[in-house]
């Protein structure tokens, strides 16, 4: 009688832990050093801030970091038009059309209702695209419109969990942007903030009549994070953080 080979469950568990410990570079200069090397693979990170704070630029830098390493990415938007968006990003020297032609980048203009339908269907067209290009990075810009489809807290939470389960199944590391919903210049309230693995806040505040930007890592599961808010700037090359320049509101 042939011997039955036993599965080493401990070895499989250790292997899964190692995969979860892999870090994905954010593409934002100096940010990786503040979060132990980057986002954890397959995590969902919320980037929240007010209008003009730099949320979309952050999201595209994250996608581009992957594209440069031949990691396919998908950008889902509820508000942007592709032609204008590509033109706006070209101001930073980012040629998204080139990556699209190479089959590494997909731009999807969806309505919140379409994303809601995808959750109901358990993946739908987006899942097919992800499998086709073997996407590793995903951006949803912004999640605020989607969250407004749900009237009460419970259904909103259930929808968020269903969406994140899909993203996890797709093995994508995701950045979701969210509009600031607070009325206080020193705090930020965002959609789905309690369901995500990480939260990064981008402030666009006024100091002595001048608009300034700052970044705070509010939450990052399984990661030691600093308890400081750092000066941030949007340059011709994109977002840059100054870790040597903490901000005091």
Encode pLDDT of 64-76 as tens digits.
999 999 999 999 9
232, pLDDT greater than 80: yes
Write down the pLDDT at residue 159.
Answer: 84
Q: 124 phi and psi, to 5 degrees?
A: 60, -145
| Tokens found for residue 87 | 């033109």
Encode pLDDT of 11-66 as tens digits.
434 444 445 578 999 999 999 999 999 999 999 999 999 888 999 999 999 999 99
Per-residue H/E/C for the chain: CCCCCCCCHHHHHHHHHHHHCCEECCCCCCHHHHCCCCEECCCEEEEEECCCCCHHHHHHHHHHHHHCCCCCEEEEECCCCHHHHHHHHHCCCCCHHHHHHCCCEEEEECCHHHHHHHHHHCCHHHHHHHHHHCCCEEEEECHHHHHCCCCCHHHHHHHHHHHHHHHHHCCCEEEEEEECCCCCCCCCCCCCCCCCCEEEEEEEEEECCEEEEEEEEEEECCCCCCCCEEEEEEECCEEEEEEEEECCC
Domains, the chain, ordered by start = 41-209 (3.40.50.300)
User: Structure pTM?
Assistant: 0.86
How far, CA to CA in Å, does 213 sit from each of 26, 158, 206, 246?
Answer: 18, 33, 9, 12
């Amino acid at each position: 009688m042939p011997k039955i080979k036993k599965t080493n469950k401990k070895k499989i568990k250790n292997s899964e832990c190692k995969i979860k410990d892999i870090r994905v570079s954010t593409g934002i200069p100096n940010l990786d050093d503040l979060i132990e090397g980057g986002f954890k693979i397959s995590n969902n990170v919320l980037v929240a801030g007010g209008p003009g704070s730099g949320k979309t630029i952050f999201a595209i830098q994250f996608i581009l970091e992957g594209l440069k390493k031949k990691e396919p990415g998908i950008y889902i938007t509820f508000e942007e038009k592709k032609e204008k968006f590509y033109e706006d990003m070209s101001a930073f020297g980012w040629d998204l059309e080139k990556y699209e032609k190479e089959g590494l980048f997909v731009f999807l203009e969806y309505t919140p209702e379409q994303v809601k339908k995808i959750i109901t269907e358990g993946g739908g067209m987006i899942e097919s695209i992800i499998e086709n290009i073997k996407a590793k990075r995903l951006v949803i810009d912004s999640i605020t419109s989607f969250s407004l489809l749900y009237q009460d807290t419970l259904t909103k939470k259930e929808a968020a969990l269903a969406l994140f389960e899909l993203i996890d199944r797709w093995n994508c590391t995701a950045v979701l942007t969210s509009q600031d919903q607070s009325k206080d210049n020193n705090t930020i309230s965002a959609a789905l903030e309690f369901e995500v693995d990480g939260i990064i806040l981008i402030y666009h505040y006024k100091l002595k009549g001048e608009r300034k930007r700052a970044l705070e890592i509010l939450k990052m599961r399984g990661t030691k994070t600093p308890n400081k808010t750092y000066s941030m700037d949007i340059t011709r090359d994109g977002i840059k953080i100054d870790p040597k320049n903490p901000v005091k509101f």
